[in-house]
Structure formats: structure tokens, C-alpha cells
């Protein structure tokens, strides 16, 4: 009798535990069940002598200019390259040149390794030339005026053109884990909208996202609280004149996965979502400061606490020189 009673109690406890676990199982997101994929390029491709690190990459070009692509270790017939419905001619040495059309817009190029169908995508945006800005506006969209280059630095020169964005193009992946629309200026205005986006910023964000996942923080992207800012908008919010945001080389980011509530997650797992989580993200970004042969990824990292308008976040940019602020 005693053994039967113990057995019943044990089975009841096990059933209760199984019921409890079943209640929590649906709370596991798909992100937690799958491993993060950094989506690195499966073969070596250079565009204008710069390597493509990922399976999905972005470049911009002015109308009529040429994009030069080189596939390393190419053998005749090993790869094929296409843009839309057009097959591009690939030389025996793995070279192909693509000349941008006059019409600004989105012109994707796909490079496929024929034997296994592995591919690298190059999202090319032909720019709307900056000389079409009239009285601070481009097709009715407020751009404002760019300041003189800070200390004459090349990275602070006014842009030569802008990406023209339609509602459909907002959804285009410009790197494996980021869409074009994530970097749009927050100012009011209809379509088309205009944008600057430095490919080096995307590469740095991808590296940071990979590092975050390596730390056990499961996220498939960052929330880009602020990406590109037109000089018009940048002035309206009272930011510094030469902000890296107006050159498309900066992003204010945080992680918002569980729960999705437009606020930084508890990524350091101390039971509270606050500035300490932004400090945790800041520390990971700070360790990416030394890029060795990737000088184009050098830049700033800033820490910001919550206020009445937003939660804590981290600023990341690719200004070309190291800069740090906000961290004690």
C-alpha cells in the first residue's frame, strides 16, 4: 500500500513537471531553436578590388560607371554571372565588368558556382546624382545642405548621389541580416525616399551580430533605431553638424527579440533590461575596434541611456578612426 502511494505520488509529480514543461515549450522562439547563420560567402569574389565577405552584399554606383568583378581561382565554365535576365560575359580569368545604366534604381547581380549552385548576391543600386538636388530637395524629398568636409577629410565629403527608395525596395536584403528599409531616415515624407548607406557599415554590423550570437545572445538582426539622417532632419533634431549619420556610415542599435517591445532586451541575463545591457553590447562592439587589415571598418562606439523618447542603445560607425564615448 505504501509503495503504491509513493508510486502514485511520483507519477503525479512527473506528470505535473511534464505539463509545466509543455507550457513553456511554445515560448521557445524559432530563433532559439535554430543556430545563427553568419551567411559568409562560399567562394572569393572581389568588387572593385574589395572582397565580398557575405552571401549578400551591397554596392552603389553612379549612372554610366563600371563595376568590376573578379572571381578568384576561376576555371572556364566554373561560374556564371547574371543581372536580371541578362547573362554577363565572364573571362577565363574570372573577370566581368558591368556598366551601370542611366536610370537610377536597383540592379541585382548574382554569381553562381555551377557545380553546387552556391551563390553570392551583389545588390547594386544606381544612384540618383546629387547634382539633381534643387534648393535642398530631391524630387520633393527634403535633403538639406551638406556641410563642408570636416578638416578636409575624404570620409566627410558631400555625397555624389543617393539611393532612391520605393516601398518595394525597403524589403531588399542589403546584407544577410539587414534590409534597406531599416536604414531610412525617420523624417516625414512620401516616396521616393532617398538614402545613403556605406557598405562598410553593413559589414561591421554583420560582424557585430555574429559576435553577439557567439556570446549566446540569439538575434537575427539589430533594431536600427537611427540609420541615415538627411542634413535637414539631423539639424531639426539638434544633432552635431558633421554627424556620421548624414553620410550613411552610422547606426544606433539595440537588440529586441524576447519580448519584442521596442526596448533593449536583458542580454546580460541579470533579470532586468536597462543600461547594463547596452553596456554589454558596447563591450562587444568595442572589442571589434582592431580590424587588422580592415581599416575601412574602424570607427566610433557610443553608449546611450534611456530617456523619455527611447530605451538604452549603442551607436556604431565607420568613420575610419577609433572614437569612444558614453562609457564610464
**Which pLDDT tens digit goes with each residue over 17-57?**
444 434 333 444 444 458 999 999 999 999 999 999 999 99
- Give me the percent of the chain exceeding a pLDDT of 90: 78
Cα gap 55→306, rounded to integer Å: 35
Enumerate the β-bridge partners of residue 162: 128
Angle in degrees, 0-180, between the axes of helices 275-286 and 199-214, rounded to the nearest 10? 110
pLDDT for residue 208 is more than 50 = yes
* CA-wise closest residue to 317 among 254, 252, 255, 256: 252
CA angle centred on 195, ends 190 and 199, rounded to 5°: 155
pLDDT for residue 16 is more than 70 = no
Q: Which domains does the chain have, with CATH numbers?
A: 30-126 (2.60.40), 128-325 (no CATH)
Cα gap 190→49, rounded to integer Å: 37
User: What is the residue whose three cell numbers read 560575359?
Assistant: 89
pLDDT tens, position by position, 147-182? 999 888 888 999 999 999 999 999 999 999 999 999
What radius of gyration, in Å, describes the C-alpha atoms of the chain? 24
> For residue 92, what pLDDT is reported?
84
Cα gap 13→11, rounded to integer Å: 5
Cα gap 155→188, rounded to integer Å: 27
**Burial track 125-144 (b if 16+ CB lie within 10 A, e otherwise):** bbbbebeebeeeebbebbbb
pLDDT for residue 227 is more than 60 = yes
> For residue 100, what pLDDT is reported?
97
**312 close to 254: Cβ distance less than 8 angstroms:** yes
pLDDT tens, position by position, 61-120? 999 999 999 998 777 779 999 998 789 999 988 999 999 999 999 999 999 999 999 999
> For residue 296, what pLDDT is reported?
74
Cα gap 180→178, rounded to integer Å: 7
> For residue 4, what pLDDT is reported?
47
**130 close to 106: Cβ distance less than 8 angstroms:** no
Amino acid at each position: 500500500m505504501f509503495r503504491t502511494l509513493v508510486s502514485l505520488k511520483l507519477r503525479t509529480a512527473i506528470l505535473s513537471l511534464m505539463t509545466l514543461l509543455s507550457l513553456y515549450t511554445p515560448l521557445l522562439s524559432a530563433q532559439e531553436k535554430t543556430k545563427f547563420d553568419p551567411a559568409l560567402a562560399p567562394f572569393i569574389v572581389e568588387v572593385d578590388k574589395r572582397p565580398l565577405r557575405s552571401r549578400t552584399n551591397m554596392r552603389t554606383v553612379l549612372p554610366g560607371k563600371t563595376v568590376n568583378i573578379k572571381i578568384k581561382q576561376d576555371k572556364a565554365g566554373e561560374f556564371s554571372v547574371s543581372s536580371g535576365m541578362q547573362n554577363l560575359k565572364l573571362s577565363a580569368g574570372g573577370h566581368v565588368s558591368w556598366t551601370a545604366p542611366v536610370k537610377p534604381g536597383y540592379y541585382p547581380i548574382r554569381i553562381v558556382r555551377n557545380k553546387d549552385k552556391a551563390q553570392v548576391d551583389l545588390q547594386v543600386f544606381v544612384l540618383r546624382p546629387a547634382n539633381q538636388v534643387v534648393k535642398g530637395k530631391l524630387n520633393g524629398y527634403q535633403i538639406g545642405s551638406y556641410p563642408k568636409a570636416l578638416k578636409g577629410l575624404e570620409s566627410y565629403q558631400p555625397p555624389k548621389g543617393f539611393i532612391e527608395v520605393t516601398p518595394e525596395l525597403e524589403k531588399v536584403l542589403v546584407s544577410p541580416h539587414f534590409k534597406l528599409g531599416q536604414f531610412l531616415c525617420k523624417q516625414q515624407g512620401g516616396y521616393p525616399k532617398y538614402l545613403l548607406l556605406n557598405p562598410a557599415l553593413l559589414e561591421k554590423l554583420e560582424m557585430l551580430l555574429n559576435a553577439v550570437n557567439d556570446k549566446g545572445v540569439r538575434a537575427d538582426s539589430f533594431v536600427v533605431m537611427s540609420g541615415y539622417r538627411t542634413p535637414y532632419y539631423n539639424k531639426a533634431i539638434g544633432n552635431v553638424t558633421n554627424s556620421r549619420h548624414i553620410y550613411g556610415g552610422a547606426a544606433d542599435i539595440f537588440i529586441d527579440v524576447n519580448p519584442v517591445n521596442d526596448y533593449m532586451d536583458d542580454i546580460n541575463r541579470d533579470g532586468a533590461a536597462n543600461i547594463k545591457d547596452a553596456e554589454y553590447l558596447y563591450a562587444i562592439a568595442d572589442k571589434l575596434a582592431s580590424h587588422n587589415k580592415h581599416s575601412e571598418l574602424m570607427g566610433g562606439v557610443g553608449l546611450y541611456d534611456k530617456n523619455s523618447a527611447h530605451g538604452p542603445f549603442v551607436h556604431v560607425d565607420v568613420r575610419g578612426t577609433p572614437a569612444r564615448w558614453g562609457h564610464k
